[in-house]
Amino acid sequence: MNCFCLTVAGEEMFNSLSLLQCETLCLRRYLKTSHKLYSATYDPNEKTFEKLLIANRGEIACRVIKTCKKMGIKTVAIHSDVDANAVHVKMADEAVCVGPAPTSKSYLNMDAIMEVIKETRAQAVHPGYGFLSENKEFARRLAAEGVTFIGPDTHAIQAMGDKIESKLLAKNAKVNTIPGFDGVVKDADEAVRIAREIGYPVMIKASAGGGGKGMRIAWDDEETREGFRFSSQEAASSFGDDRLLIEKFIDNPRHIEIQVLADKHGNALWLNERECSIQRRNQKVVEEAPSTFLDPETRRAMGEQAVALAKAVKYSSAGTVEFLVDSSKNFYFLEMNTRLQVEHPVTECITGLDLVQEMIRVAKGYPLRHKQADIPINGWAVECRVYAEDPYKSFGLPSIGKLSQYQEPLHVPSVRVDSGIQQGSDISIYYDPMISKLITYGSNRAEALKRMEEALDNYVIRGVTHNISLLREVIIHPRFVRGDISTKFLPEVYPDGFKGHKLTDLERRELLATAASLYVAEQLRSQRFLGTPRIPIAKSKRSSWELSVHLGDGIYPVAVSKDGSSFSVEVDGMKLNVTSEWNLASPLLSVTIDGTQRTIQRLSRNASGSTSIQFLGTVYKLQILTKVAAELSKYMPEKAAEDTSSILRSPMPGAVVAVSVKPGDMVSEGQEICVIEAMKMQNSMIAAKTGKLQVVGSE
């Protein structure tokens, strides 16, 4: 047996232990001696499957493949034509194209996927999350062909995947539920009637939905009608099911979920909770385990209700029961996800379990290896979802492009990165804009957050707009640090939208000093060629520079003098000592400013002195000029800003799915012009002012 116990306990002790005792000891020893993010107990003699197909793409496909390799299982990847060179395709033992880019013709194409299963003779299918992971028809077709679905049976998928049926079952299982309408909402008029009966605000949500898609909050009749329209359209597009339900919206709650694990022998465990309250548009952004809010009694009550619900539907596999928790620690069942969650790594960190391995074992028919008493909370884990998004627009509107440079911060201790991309990968309009899941682990929350801060500073992503600035600001915000959070955290903390990091006076001086030192270091380097002066007879002995640095609305005089590898920089009458190795070819630059270490990234520069520097997570644009150049620059004409008040441009790339007007129409300010679908979400584009529509088309 390839078991960690053998190395820590010795062969004599190992032989005296039962398999379960050994594995339990292994888990506990593993947690004490290692902060790795997968269980060390892979038994090559425990037979599962010879070949497994992953019916998914991106990071979750790569995640499943990693565990399969450790378990000795061969893997088959499926892909669309635009994903032919994707990382998950390269990692798998085999890969087959299942259609063109649109998900309906590829990753949701059951006929094509079933053909691949037959061709490759895959014995099992892991669906990941999203796509077909909670599709009972897919599970049924696999069962009919004798192929194992790595997940629960069709009964549990149908019961828990349907929000209406799951709510009724939860009530019967004595699980706390949210007040609402338990039937299917037929049309907008009925939606308004139901919403009035429940009382505003209400949540309109797709019955078969998840991931924030097909969900809208309505505060009045008009928003209910609009929410019904958009939610039904998104639900049909994402899940092929446009049924909706309505329930009371609990204002200012926490979103806390319980990870459950159950086998086919009636055993079920709860693997503690995950705090998932930091959200935008009902989609999670930052998660952690455990939660700062729960006490042992509440945690146990939530866990026991989650297990009761799992047992009520004879659930087997890994699953998640989601709850809304109010300020008094009253908790209400939200939904059950009958699949692996995006945020499962934080649970793996604090328990030492590999949930993908456990899912595969359960699917093969093995009983669970652990008892409830064996499940620890060891340390703290935080996950940030790194997206190709512009966080300055509605906390994250999708961005597309090619990753021209990409470097994960794996050199930072206790960091895990689950990704499905690499340098050169494309982020397209067809799929979710997630770049990766960045996870850090610590013996306590403060340590995990400090490592996350360092990891975000050391994450190199070029070619697409990303949300690292928002993630970094969230994890260092005083409210987040003290655990004072809810699902309304982002709009409450940033009521006027996210603006980036607001520099203190000291941080502003640090940035100015760093930028000026970087400028001088580059000037000195440009005077040398292969380590020697370009013109040996004209050696420069210059040791001081007077500069003018433009940052935001301010222009700052900065004096720099060189002292060995360090620079003494005077800003605002204060002197700062700036030290670095000044490796200008590296995407990351470690700088020490008066004893404080900072990791910065210079993203761009040009001959006019303009440069962009990522500092404390936020990108700042500066212009650095010599004193003479700065005096002359005032004579340079400024380019007039383009007047776009009469043009409606989509703030994100996407597909136009509906146009509500035609040329010649009179439109009013706030009137819908068209609907853009981007990364599976529908967005209404409205007129910025009243006027006559002249042209409808693309530039």
CATH at 241: 3.30.1490.20
Question: CA 358: distance to chain centroid?
Answer: 23
Report whether pLDDT(630) > 80: yes
109 plus 210 within the same structural domain: no
Mean pLDDT of 231-243: 79
Residue 26 lies in a domain: no
The string of pLDDT tens digits covering residues 74-89 is 999 999 999 999 999 9
Tally the domains of the chain: 4
pLDDT of residue 209: 64
618 plus 520 within the same structural domain: yes
627 plus 561 within the same structural domain: yes
Supply the CATH number for residue 78's domain: 3.40.50.20
Contact 149, 54 (CB under 8 A): no
Mean pLDDT of 679-690: 80
Q: Which segments within 587-680 are labelled E, that is strand?
A: 589-593, 596-605, 610-615, 618-626, 655-659, 666-667, 672-678
547 plus 627 within the same structural domain: yes
509 plus 628 within the same structural domain: yes
Residue 123 lies in a domain: yes
622 plus 662 within the same structural domain: no
pLDDT of residue 7: 28
Annotated catalytic residue, options 335, 343, 348, 453 = 335
How many other C-beta atoms are found inside a 10 Å radius of the C-beta of residue 511?
23
Helix-strand-coil percent breakdown of the chain, rounded to 5? 30, 30, 35
Tokens read off for 541: 């002995």
Contact 27, 102 (CB under 8 A): no
The string of pLDDT tens digits covering residues 408-432 is 999 999 999 999 999 999 998 889 8
Q: Where residue 374 falls among pLDDT bands split at 50, 70, 90?
A: very high
SS3 category, 124: strand
Residue 100 lies in a domain: yes
Tokens read off for 364: 């093969």
Residue 242 lies in a domain: yes
Share of the chain above pLDDT 90, in %: 67
Q: Where residue 297 falls among pLDDT bands split at 50, 70, 90?
A: very high
Residue 230 lies in a domain: yes
The string of pLDDT tens digits covering residues 201-222 is 898 988 776 656 778 899 999 9
Report whether pLDDT(19) > 60: no
Q: Which residue has the tokens 């990870």?
A: 259
pLDDT of residue 534: 56
Report whether pLDDT(103) > 60: yes
Give the largest CA-CA distance in the chain: 90
Q: Kindly report the average pLDDT of the chain as a whole number.
A: 88
Verify whether residue 335 is a known catalytic residue: yes
617 plus 659 within the same structural domain: no
The string of pLDDT tens digits covering residues 531-580 is 566 555 555 567 899 999 999 999 999 999 998 779 999 999 999 999 99
Residue 64 lies in a domain: yes
Q: Where residue 36 falls among pLDDT bands split at 50, 70, 90?
A: very low
Q: Where residue 9 falls among pLDDT bands split at 50, 70, 90?
A: very low
Share of the chain above pLDDT 70, in %: 91
221 plus 143 within the same structural domain: no
Question: Which of 24-28, 231-235, 334-338 shows the highest mean pLDDT?
Answer: 334-338
Residue 83 lies in a domain: yes
Contact 157, 459 (CB under 8 A): no
111 plus 201 within the same structural domain: no
Contact 121, 51 (CB under 8 A): yes
pLDDT of residue 286: 98
Amino acid present at 576: L
Residue 548 lies in a domain: yes
| C-alpha Rg value of the chain to the nearest Å | 28
The string of pLDDT tens digits covering residues 299-347 is 999 999 999 999 999 999 999 999 999 888 999 999 999 999 999 999 9
Instruction: Look at residues 188, 216, 248 and tell me which one is the last residue of a structural domain.
Output: 248
Return d(Cα 485, Cα 278) in angstroms, integer.
7
How many other C-beta atoms are found inside a 10 Å radius of the C-beta of residue 405?
13
pLDDT of residue 398: 86
- Among residues 543, 542, 574, which one has the least CA distance to residue 558? 574
CA distances 608 to 555, 582, 603, Å, are 16, 21, 15
122 plus 192 within the same structural domain: no
- Give the domain extent around 232: 179-248
Contact 284, 345 (CB under 8 A): no
Return d(Cα 190, Cα 98) in angstroms, integer.
40
124 plus 187 within the same structural domain: no
The string of pLDDT tens digits covering residues 489-544 is 999 999 999 999 999 999 999 999 999 999 999 988 877 655 566 555 555 567 89
pLDDT of residue 2: 34
594 plus 510 within the same structural domain: yes
SS3 category, 356: helix
Q: Which residues touch 542 (CB under 8 Å, ≥6 apart)?
A: none
Q: Which residue has the tokens 């580059």?
A: 522
pTM assigned to the model: 0.83
